[in-house]
Amino acid sequence: MTAFPEQGKRVIMLADCQSFYASVEKAAHPQYRDKPVVVAGDPARRSGIILAACPLAKAHGVTTAERLGEALRKCPEAVVIRPRMEEYIKVSMQITAILQTYTDLVEPFSIDEQYLDVTGSLHLFGTPVEIARDIQQKVLQETGVWTRVGISENKVLAKMACDNFAKKNREGIYELPKSEIADLWELPVSKTYLIGSRMTRHLNRMGILTVGDLARTPPARLRARWGINGEVIWRVANGIDPSPVTPQTHEGQKAVGHQMTLPRDYATAEEIKVVLLELSELVCQRCRAKGCQGQVVSVGCQGADYDHPSGFYRQMKLADPTQLTDTVYETAQLLFRKHWDGLPVRKVGVTLGDLVPDDQYQLLMFGDEERKIALERTTDTIRQRFGSTAIMRAVSATPAGQAKDRSHKIGGHYK
């Protein structure tokens, strides 16, 4: 392998936590150290999908996103643990703090993946591999989680170095200078970052079978087929990514939204209206907490049959920015009535976009906006102090309501 880093090149790492949720649970339950552990939705009912599986469970063929029942058929002795999202977020933030002792340029990519730019830290902590090893040991010692580290000169190459090589070798570290991108080009095109199974099938039909085939394809041909996305996947295959590691990358939020996967098909407008109201209330509550209001309401839904997709995503601009639940709900209802095809719905989402600060708002001559805002902020305070179910709409107590069940979850999973 050539000397790395090359003169004047950045040194970017992607630190990925192995089987993150399962690793956190194994660290919390030492008695499961030598047992196959899976984290899944509802162990009591033996239902839900696999959110994480430890290496011992994966050795039995268990994979993430498969149904728990199927996983238990493969590995009957698996220990099934209900997810604890609050704990996983806490550990993720703990790992971020550890990474920040090596550089102030740390960018969370997901709950279990983070980018680091250690270019300016080499003179303090040693070579890239030495830094990666030190990070692995410190994270393992403080959290019980093993990390794999991909190293390169930009984010996309660090990601592919981690996914395709560091995750598969014993050391859990892999350096991939751009000058050695041929290591990637021999891999199947499905190993390209951002390329999923559907895109893989399209590329294979075009005779593009490997990452190298994609890299050598004229970008004009890809743009003609997929527009700007064609240019993006060509750049990825060629290891081109000038984007910096940006700690504030998730700041400057432009929209607040919430999507809910329902426990069953909702087939009537009356049932769906309950969910739209709960989502509108949650979105507006988050906007008020962030001190913002929005002017564009978006609504989307999706059916349960993913092989025959149904649903829509539409938006409408309001006359004035708002953070009031009733205003957003009325618009959400209007959009839904206009675009729903009448087929059963399994997933619903509401978003409020074009956000602006809430310290200025339009007073209507015949309205009572100030009273409504004061009332909603008061209910927010009560919920914050006594819990999200301290005050609920009456419809949330009906069979269609999800507010009570959602109060026990974060991001759709149990806290």
| DSSP codes joined into one string, 248-295 | TTT-S--EEEEEEEEEEEE-SHHHHHHHHHHHHHHHHHHHHHHTEEEE
Residue 229 shares a structural domain with residue 331: no
Instruction: Give the span between the Cα atoms of 171 and 148, in whole angstroms.
Output: 8
The response to whether 305 counts as a known ligand-binding position is: no
**Total domains, the chain:** 3
Indicate if the pLDDT at residue 397 is higher than 60: yes
Radius of gyration over every alpha carbon of the chain, rounded to an integer in angstroms? 24
163 is in an annotated binding site: no
- pTM score of the predicted model: 0.70
| For residues 352-371, average pLDDT | 69
Domain that holds residue 378: 255-414
Q: Minimal CA–CA distance to 126: which of 117, 118, 136?
A: 118
Whether residue 1 is predicted with pLDDT greater than 50 in this model: the reply is no
Pick the range with the lowest mean pLDDT from 44-58, 61-75, 229-243: 44-58
Quick one: which of 62, 81, 85, 82 has its CA closest to 72?
62
- Model confidence band, residue 365 (pLDDT cutoffs 50, 70, 90): very low
Assign residue 383 the CATH number of its domain. 3.30.1490.100
Mean pLDDT of 221-243: 95
Q: Is residue 296 part of a domain?
A: yes
The whole-angstrom separation of Cα 408 and Cα 415 is 6
Based on the fold, state whether residues 292 and 202 are members of the same structural domain: no
Per cent of the chain over pLDDT 90 is 67
Is residue 371 domain-shared with residue 232, that is, in the same domain?
no
Same domain, 73 and 44: yes
* pLDDT tens per residue across span 139-186: 999 999 999 999 999 999 999 999 999 999 999 999 999 999 998 999
Q: Is 113 a catalytic residue?
A: yes
Q: Is residue 273 part of a domain?
A: yes
Catalytic-labelled residue, pool 25, 66, 87, 113: 113
User: E strands along 281-361, which residues?
Assistant: 292-302, 311-322, 345-353, 356-357
Same-domain status, 204 and 328: no
Cα 181 to its chain centre, rounded Å, is: 28
Same domain, 344 and 259: yes
